[in-house]
């Protein structure tokens, strides 16, 4: 059990932590903490919980709120129609790296934060494991924000008794750990690719074509990127096995995946800037990756259903 304490006073938190947080921008901390304190306007009136399949647990990561690449509307659509008993936010929820360079925080991003807080009020347990892009939140490990638990890592036990180690995964990224300047450079190049991706998909939408990820396509075609992904997956699975877990669940690399690696179940829940994926646990312990097609991309709302990419029951 995680020992936590509640933080409700934004001004006291900012005053106490100001030397460290000035490096990421006081405007960012003000927006984030005000969101958790409920000082923003309420979400849009059409944000009503709709009936949909309920899951025991949902895992999402790499939302990158605070960037134009975040697909907040699609995420809201997914959250509306997929209630759960527990929800894990597996890092890079808010992109402090990009917000430090240029402020971007539209109402749709605040709506996502408020939606998460409303899930807590409705009885859903929300666990937040910060990543490298929201590393500022690691200063608050062991605390609660609006009922959201902030933890360094978590152990999730599935309904069928499997132990999953839940981490963001950046500690297994040699670039982030050993050459952060290169990580920042790569982040800028990635943002450029996402901008190109938005223009491309705007054109595809006018032509009546479905969403397609340019950056995901490039990752599949570049050998060095594939080697990086494979090395990352193997390293994470190896450490989970060393710690005695049945599996590991992470994010970070924006590649949804679920497979066995040397006897360990490796799970990655993907992202909400490219693939729009989540990993869900059914009430019998089965794990499944969902690819979400939001309602505004189909002709009828009844057609807005997730497509199953993979399902594991071991």
pTM over 0.85: no
The residue whose two tokens read 């646990």 is 281
Number of domains in the chain: 1
- Could you tell me which residue, 47 or 295, shows the higher pLDDT? 295
Closest to 309 (Cα-Cα) out of 173, 216, 184:
216
The residue whose two tokens read 């990543």 is 131
Which residue intervals of the chain are DSSP H helices?
A: 10-21, 26-37, 72-81, 96-101, 107-121, 174-178, 180-206, 214-221, 223-242
Q: What is the pLDDT of residue 188?
A: 55
Domain of 141, CATH number, reads: 3.60.21.10
Q: What is the pLDDT of residue 184?
A: 46
Asked if residue 24 has pLDDT above 60, the reply is: no
User: To the nearest whole percent, how much of the chain has pLDDT over 70?
Assistant: 59
Q: What is the pLDDT of residues 246-258, one digit of tens each?
A: 999 999 999 999 9
288 lies in which domain range? 5-312
């Amino acid at each position: 059990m995680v020992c936590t304490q509640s933080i409700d006073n934004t001004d006291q938190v900012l005053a106490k932590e100001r030397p460290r947080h000035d490096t990421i921008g006081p405007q960012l901390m003000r927006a984030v903490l005000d969101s958790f304190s409920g000082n923003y306007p309420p979400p849009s009136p059409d944000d009503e919980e709709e009936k949909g399949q309920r899951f025991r647990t949902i895992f999402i990561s790499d939302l990158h709120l605070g960037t134009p690449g975040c697909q907040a509307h699609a995420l809201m659509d997914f959250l509306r129609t997929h209630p759960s008993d527990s929800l894990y936010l597996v890092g890079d929820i808010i992109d402090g790296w990009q917000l430090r360079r240029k402020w971007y925080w539209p109402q749709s991003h605040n709506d996502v934060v408020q939606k998460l807080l409303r899930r807590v009020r409705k009885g859903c347990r929300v666990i937040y494991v910060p990543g490298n892009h929201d590393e500022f939140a690691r200063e608050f490990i062991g605390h609660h924000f609006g009922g959201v638990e902030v933890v360094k890592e978590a152990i999730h036990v599935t309904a069928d008794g499997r132990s999953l180690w839940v981490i963001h995964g950046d500690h297994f990224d040699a670039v982030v750990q050993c050459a952060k300047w290169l990580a920042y450079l790569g982040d800028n190049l990635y943002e450029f690719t996402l901008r190109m991706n938005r223009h491309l998909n705007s054109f595809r939408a006018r032509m009546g074509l479905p969403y397609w990820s340019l950056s995901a396509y490039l990752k599949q075609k570049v050998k060095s990127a594939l080697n990086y992904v494979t090395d990352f997956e193997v390293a994470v699975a190896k450490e989970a096995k060393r710690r005695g877990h049945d599996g590991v669940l992470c994010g970070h690399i924006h590649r949804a995946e679920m497979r066995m690696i040397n006897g360990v179940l490796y799970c990655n829940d993907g992202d909400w800037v490219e693939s729009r994926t989540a990993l869900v646990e059914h009430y019998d312990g089965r794990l499944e990756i969902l690819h979400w097609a939001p309602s505004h991309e189909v002709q009828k709302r009844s057609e807005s259903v997730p497509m199953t990419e993979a399902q594991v029951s071991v």
